[in-house]
Structure 1
């Protein structure tokens, strides 16, 4: 019995020794999150770059980093291999080729969040199609990974943005330097839950771009950056011409038809749906949908346009290309105008039906034979106006001649009377009387 009890006790003791206790169980460490011990952490050798996210207590100033050799790093006096960005509640620090060994933080640290150490940040971008088309819109997503796991730090993404560029490749320079300019930028996106981005600061950037460059071979360049670091990813794509040709034709004096010819070598015609919108003045809008082709051409009469003004028509082409990929291509807008012919002045007996508007395409010029009759009538009336009566300057000349004739007649009459008086002696008698006047005689009162 004693031997049996001793055997049971030895078995239990052996089991107790072989089973690890809960206190001795190793703690599962997440590489990107560290609980500080005496505000210290360690960086291993071989790290090319490390990014630190250090959370501070509210109102506390930037921290101070003490390197393994005892030297200190400050927020505003950092060496060239250190990029430092501080906000109200955290410090974002990126260090290139940090010194291996124990590091120490001096400052008021928020113990609930402690510190995040990101030492292997990679950018992953969804692969774009190898072949794209002009005016095609594509949706791209990008995310930052650290040791195979997506970074989900709210503070990290607060100042991070995604830029997409399209850089032209040439025969002389098939691999251009990855330093695109602002002219090559197709879009800028943020992880803030706006636009196509589903959730704010979840580590996934989502953007939609409209490719309008000329056909050719390009490099699609995605770059994620913030105040302290950047990561980039590059893909090769080929941009092909727009697989659609638009045309607006006149089918009658006052009627138009819109036609879209689709390239059957590129697009599967059985999958085509063309959504259009005709817009004009006074908020005029008229939607159209074309789905049935007539020998590669999708067309519709624009018989609903009957008011004067400028109009534009454009929309989207939704289809599958010959590889089976779904494409969404924006159709550039076409312009046309509707004008009314000038009115013709008629008598009451000659009044006819009201003239309908005339539709004029962009660049149309009416020939002389099609000019409105009113224009001809105006021209004829302007040329016949002089023969309808005497102009004003004729009346002025006639008045001047008449005045001269009257003055000449008066002068002629006076001269004739004086000549007649001289013959009869009346003029001499008047002169004698004037000589008898006594100048010394007082004036009669």
Structure 2
């Protein structure tokens, strides 16, 4: 963080934390310092926090994450619940409390053991932000997953405020009005709005243009406007704003937003931060007037309520939400396939007003694979496989590995489970001498509901002697489907071809939306953006099935010709298929996929 952008990132959260909340800031290296006292948030606290934030620096030599979490959470009482307590942990490194690697390893296990358990048992959440690709990502992910929090990597310090904001949104969800182009609409029910405008270095100054075409800027001196500027963003709050269309006179970054305080509030289901393959998300949205649910049919009938799902690549799809007459609009998201972060939004067009409510959920793999190197008299690389979800039948799960030595010999061994835990550990030692060892791993198990789980990370390599600088480092093993490895599986039976048909009534189906670029969604075609798998009896059904099959192959050909427009529909469960890993060739190059026939 050469420009020390941690300071404006902290200042942003300082501005956004609601009055009456309690908040504090701790810095840590070898020791932990309560930089900003934990107390009730008001204007005096904000002024003090901004002043103390100037002291944030990088002079500390160690990284005592465990002590920082303990100090910041010391007021959480055992047996009490704190579901609305959130910790945002920022670190650029790994657990480092001592020059002896064994002590650091023990401390890391303590953090993931009693330290995390104590926080999670109170219902509090830990959101982690890594300010370096060299940070201990497996540790950050486990802290977040184990406490129901978010984990994210800031690719550069320039991204820090955005990543902080993502974690903050999970703690304090805020209702928004959508920004369309550079404009947003304020209706008569809105008492206050706050525009957060992210800006690039060297961009022209940000200005607001009101509905009566008045230009508002920091020097305008209006009492109803609070303007805060910092590196990378402008934060503008307007009280009792004029009704109509407002314009942001600036280059508007996609992460910019306008949050509101309104008498007409949208109440949306709070979604979990982390989900796993097979989980179902029930999204419900209602409207409150002075805290009371609106059930008036005349009002509800004019609303267009859409559920919008956007993946990390920016591709999105939407589906209309419907109400059963109880004033609550509902829809279901099921069978999300590709791992990663999804932005789930509810968009409302009420003709005279617009609203948006966003949340981020992370589709996680059911198992985590991490690799560490240990030096000393008996050097070894250790693979640790961890079940991340409680929905795994631990006793019914087995982990196997095939290790190929530098001399070409291979050995298949069962990976031992650590008794009383959800972990399996494999030590790779230089039994055949120094050189490169290649390791293929296979997890075979089942969920508590009986569904099979088969998962393989990509084949990874380890070196002996352990390269200088790699000892005691912990890295994540990427979870890509592996080729079949001899001795660990039988060849999978080919799956029967499934007919594909267009769902005739999406409002009654629970199928997952296909994610396609929003610009490709024409209003009259919104009913064909989802696929229903199945078969329909009768003569008419046969014709529909034939048309569906033709449609499937045509789309498949188009996807091959236009990869940029390919529908995002990769199933994580495709990676868990029971393929054989009997015949893996560690040295073979993967063959290109054949072109699909018309």
TM-score by shorter chain over 0.5: no
Q: Between Structure 1 and Structure 2, whose CA radius of gyration is higher?
A: 1
More strand by share: 1
TM-score by length of 2: 0.21
TM-score by length of 1: 0.28
